[in-house]
Amino acid sequence: LAKTTQPISMDSYEGQEVNITCSHNNIATNDYITWYQQFPSQGPRFIIQGYKTKVTNEVASLFIPADRKSSTLSLPRVSLSDTAVYYCLVGPPGYSNASKIIFGSGTRLSIQP
15 vs 59, beta carbon nearer another protein: 59
Residues between 23 and 62 with contacts to another protein, criterion CB under 8 A:
32, 34, 36, 41-46, 49
CB of 6 to another protein, least distance (A): 9
**Long-range own/partner contacts, residues 97-106 (CB < 8 A, 24 or more apart):** 100/1, 100/2, 100/28, 100/31, 102/1, 102/2, 102/3, 102/4, 103/4, 104/4, 104/5, 104/6, 104/22, 105/5, 105/6, 105/8, 106/6, 106/38
Decide: is 86 part of the binding site for another protein (CB under 8 A).
no
- Binding residues for another protein (CB under 8 A): 32, 34, 36, 41-46, 49, 87, 93-95, 98-99, 101, 103-106
